[in-house]
Structure 1
């Protein structure tokens, strides 16, 4: 079992990050496209206060220099914003303050070891990408870099964003913070909805929400960010473009948390301002499909362990200057098959709140495409928190009372207006994959909301206390609370679009719909698991006891048969991070039913099915290695079940109850699976015929059908049993009408 990677704590600090003005910057012409820089004052024919206009573009005015504040002059204005606000003269006559320099030995002053590190104020060199599209390249020396002016021209528009600016980051100002909303309203905001003062720059996005913009250069290790990105690129060189192709082809469609066209165009044009942790995260995920690209398979695979180490260190540092790229990188790193970090999840939730991702951004004064990107990232963060809560059995950190994000819609996936008018047209196949991926992403969000309700209804400390106080009526209380959640789950499944059902044609391409349906079964199992845990045969009437266990048995069989039907194109595709545990939960549920079975015959039935399930997982793990974890957990559960006391047979139970043998024979199908000469058994009714009414579970009718037999029987004997699928009949579907034909 792979050890989970947890994010390392940030370096110790003597004090919190100060909200202070930026340090004086070097005297140099600002790069084209620098955020919040506008054209200089108009040159006048007459001399006077504006005679030294040329120097304005090289340094701030004298007053802003003394305040150590950013100097902003609107086009056509004579005074900068702060001088105009303070009703004072805006001059450029004072000389820059002298910088303190370290004393070095005369003979070693110019030696390489004593040269100062590259300043982050200097524009970093662009990415070296010779190809017009993101395509694979053979090993070769790094090509010449793109012109600096080209890189500048293609990233100028990022200054209009709230969460993707290059040299500053935003922090949300809450209502109870020292920045009172009424006092903020008294500030003078310019046409960019910004107000500069000594502590930073206020950025108002609407009449109610405001952020403070702070310089990145005041945070730790900011000067090393370019070098870190170079380390990442060197590890994958020259295969970076090919890995990005794999990422956008396999991961991105069903997990669209990156602005694809914006990213691709920035990459092509040599932008060197990407987050190192984000780039590493994209490369790490793409490496999982290294062998399926014929151009990559013939080369040695880059060292993913080194990439992960750099990514985690870089992410820790980036948390001090949080941006949308920080959340994107963290979410991608958590999708690794071996990643399982509860602490990183909680940190990302906190950073997301600092960035205002929990708010409704639909009316904010930010680019339209950034609104959609923020909503997609917010929804991905919501799902990360909720599914982490389930698989770890720990409290969620996102509550509905403080979650104002509106439901995602088609407009939130549009990328027009991101500053790039020239982009490659997608093929019909790419459009189809992206559309299906968007539906898949949206449906996963809806299912997560239902799963979160299951957790809130049955697994919070308040709910556990309520069920405990209910005593012998706990099952009745659980069933009453389960009904509305069950209806929502059924309605969700009935409205599932055809494009994301399991029977939808895949055209021999990788398809990620498996993780959605697996999450559906995990949600059902999480609900029925709570019901089974509450059952006590000594305190319930036999019919109700049988009905609850029969419904649970049907869920288990449907889930196991779903895993049997997974094809290579499903197994080798992208699986959501919780999938590893969701596969395990199916086995855990089977072990629970085995441990609580009232008769020896029923226990043997679950024992046999678990053997079959283990065999299926072991065979499937050849195409999906993360399934090895589920196999190991099944073995751990089996070891625990070795301590299970021997159960009475069905005949012994009926005999002790005084029932004649004839009656026992006719009713045996209700208490356990009778085995025939062929090793088969009669399955319970199909789940679509089981539902909950006001009085609990009710059986409508029974029928059965042929079941998929899995991957064959070779090698199964090594797990201590023989397959019984050849002579058995199984339930078709699930509680909400999910049949093999409809999935």
Structure 2
């Protein structure tokens, strides 16, 4: 196993070779030489990108690049016998040599280099915007990072830690046989490495160290080339089109892959990708196959075959874990049909082996890898927390051992040096990328609130505390719910405009739906616990009314949100827990139906659930994963058929059910704001004037406080369901 080791700077140690001791020219020469050696020895023979045409475009390396590559300032590669360069073939465009090269600007001796200016502006550790987790107590000493300064530095030189070609890393922990003091005695070279019999020690700062092991020690290493060929054969000749779909639709909202480096490797003819990662990208992109005019009329590649290869190659990759292993696992878990708690737990363990639970901001790794690690780490955090909710299992990530810095703008930069370079993207791509980054960051902060709810109410310790409270359990829940309810309310109030549901452009997909659905699932998870604690026979009548009224409001708001989803939402990317989150709305309605004190109230929820099922069934034509929610609704209804008939309000005593009388005016009843205040512990005066001859009418004051007609941003409303459905 990879074990992380914290090297204690206070311990005496021999003076190792300084990490940044080499001169600039020495560093550049060493890095380029090592990168060239790695590039040669790590090449796996994979079928190259197909070329078209029979006439060879004769050109030597010393001749100028084509017009397109010159504009993009990209390396122009033409395979032997090919007509088009790799870049032009990938984009299906003409490969011309018409334009003249632009004259180079002669720099004055005193003018600083552009690379030096960019490096100074991007090297500082990014500022933490907002913390959503525990932070480490100390800040380790900064270690200089060696960056190749050549015109075409290798993307995956020895400087990277988590994506080396022939090696994988394992974190060394404090309690392992690799004692920090002993590691401090090792002599580290200019690449921060120290070789010994068991492997290579890779120091990332004065406190933490990894052991690098060769991939050849893992079983079935040579099967990668065969798996890659099989994957490409399944999707051929549409691989590049599927990659474009992935980065256009999925990547903005779930940015766990380094887009620019991925494309650069494609353009340079480098096809040595992680098989499960590439298969996962293809599998997800296939969900939008029918929406692409160029692909819809063609035979769709077999996603099931890709899934078989992905699963097998992922199990092999886990033996030599890299960042690409976690990336692949997270992508495969985004499939609507994927629902694996065991894979989630495996990925958490692998992430810890790779040190993803640590703050890497001062590690001696490339700047782009720091941002990528941060994004993958938070993606893993959300996978663990939402899987914990939808599976009802204990989370495997705890704040005491989570030192990852809060996500920041710098973490999304795609360039190899970690800088922002938007000029290579068109305006629409930049807007979608920025919107996706906001959604990703907002989902992280929402997940932290949801995790707090799970820790407060659904752990075994919390369950026992509530059981011990007996008839006072509801009051205990309300006291504990107050701070998290305030956080949730503030989160929603502070949502940026681009993350709101009404921010929709016609005929352009919008992924904001999954974020707002997760918000409602979080609210429901909180109110569900309150409703479960209520007992009409023993609960105070006023408290019973307040709690059930607030729960009813949350249910109606959630159902209204689903009813107002537009095609732009339904056909966009939906985060993996979404199909279960849609189901939780129906489950909550079924819970309110089952626990209703009287038949009139039960009939109200029965009617709303029938309408909700109709909405889901209509919407599933555009989002097939909603069929799961429909099936679960039907399963819940089958269980409710066993529910005993409830008494009517005429037969019940108002003191037991706490429902206001029909004759009481709305000014005499607590408003919805008062309902929420009551849950916070600030209750309005007692309802002493309520009489006992009430008929249930869905409660008074049905104002929707979250999604009114001017907020939902949608006009689509499914047809009314047939009255016979139910």
TM-score scaled by length of structure 2: 0.76
- Unmatched 5+ residue regions in structure 2? 4-21, 35-39, 53-67, 73-80, 87-150, 687-699
**Structure 2 CA distance, aligned partners of 1:75 and 1:584?**
57
Which residue of structure 2 lines up, in the alignment, with residue 638 of structure 1?
Answer: 637
Residue 717 (structure 2) aligned to one of 700, 711, 716: 711
SS of residue matched to 1:649: coil
Which residue of structure 2 lines up, in the alignment, with residue 349 of structure 1?
Answer: 348
Which residue of structure 2 lines up, in the alignment, with residue 23 of structure 1?
Answer: none
SS of residue matched to 1:202: strand
Which residue of structure 2 lines up, in the alignment, with residue 607 of structure 1?
Answer: 606
The RMSD of aligned alpha carbons is 3.5
Matched residue pairs, number? 590
Residue 666 (structure 1) aligned to one of 645, 663, 668: 663
1:692, distance to aligned residue in structure 2 (A): 4.2
**Structure 1 CA distance, aligned partners of 2:514 and 2:400?**
29
Contact residue 278 and residue 326 of structure 1 kept, 8 A:
yes
Does 1:165 pair with 2:164?
A: yes
- Residues 632, 422 of structure 1: CA spacing in aligned structure 2 closer, same or farther, 3 A cutoff? closer
Does 1:210 pair with 2:196?
A: no
Which residue of structure 1 lines up, in the alignment, with residue 593 of structure 2?
Answer: 594
Which residue of structure 2 lines up, in the alignment, with residue 315 of structure 1?
Answer: 314
Higher relative contact order (CA 8 A, sep 6+): 2
Q: How does 1:569-584 map to 2 (within 5 A)?
A: 569-584=568-583
Query: 1:594-617: CA deviations, max 9, x gaps?
Result: 000001110000000000000000
Does 1:199 pair with 2:205?
A: no
SS of residue matched to 2:650: helix
**Structure 1 CA distance, aligned partners of 2:680 and 2:309?**
56
Q: How does 1:528-607 map to 2 (within 5 A)?
A: 528-607=527-606
1:123, distance to aligned residue in structure 2 (A): 4.9
- Residues 129, 248 of structure 1: CA spacing in aligned structure 2 closer, same or farther, 3 A cutoff? farther
**Structure 2 CA distance, aligned partners of 1:249 and 1:471?**
53
- Residues 190, 502 of structure 1: CA spacing in aligned structure 2 closer, same or farther, 3 A cutoff? same
Bigger mean CA offset, 569-578 vs 709-718: 709-718
**Structure 1 CA distance, aligned partners of 2:48 and 2:403?**
38
Contact residue 546 and residue 670 of structure 1 kept, 8 A:
no
**Structure 1 CA distance, aligned partners of 2:552 and 2:608?**
11
Which residue of structure 1 lines up, in the alignment, with residue 618 of structure 2?
Answer: 619
Which residue of structure 2 lines up, in the alignment, with residue 128 of structure 1?
Answer: 49
SS of residue matched to 1:651: coil
**Structure 1 CA distance, aligned partners of 2:512 and 2:218?**
42
Contact residue 549 and residue 675 of structure 2 kept, 8 A:
no
Which residue of structure 2 lines up, in the alignment, with residue 441 of structure 1?
Answer: 440
SS of residue matched to 2:547: helix
Q: How does 1:87-236 map to 2 (within 5 A)?
A: 123-125=44-46, 127-128=48-49, 130=51, 155=154, 157-236=156-235
1:124, distance to aligned residue in structure 2 (A): 2.7
Bigger mean CA offset, 412-421 vs 565-574: 412-421
Larger Rg: 1
Query: 1:195-251: CA deviations, max 9, x gaps?
Result: 011111100000111000000011111111111111101110110000011000000
1:347, distance to aligned residue in structure 2 (A): 0.3
Residue 695 (structure 1) aligned to one of 665, 670, 681: 681
1:691, distance to aligned residue in structure 2 (A): 2.5
Query: 1:61-112: CA deviations, max 9, x gaps?
Result: xxxxxxxxxxx99969xxx9xxxxxxxxxxxxxxxxxxxxxxxxxxxxxxxx
Which residue of structure 1 lines up, in the alignment, with residue 399 of structure 2?
Answer: 400
- Residues 576, 687 of structure 1: CA spacing in aligned structure 2 closer, same or farther, 3 A cutoff? farther
Query: 1:173-203: CA deviations, max 9, x gaps?
Result: 0000110011101100011111011111100
**Structure 2 CA distance, aligned partners of 1:308 and 1:695?**
51
**Structure 2 CA distance, aligned partners of 1:274 and 1:478?**
50
1:465, distance to aligned residue in structure 2 (A): 0.3
- Residues 686, 503 of structure 1: CA spacing in aligned structure 2 closer, same or farther, 3 A cutoff? farther
1:716, distance to aligned residue in structure 2 (A): 2.9
Contact residue 2 and residue 211 of structure 2 kept, 8 A:
no
- Unmatched 5+ residue regions in structure 1? 1-15, 19-37, 43-71, 81-118, 135-141, 672-682, 721-743
**Structure 2 CA distance, aligned partners of 1:656 and 1:261?**
66
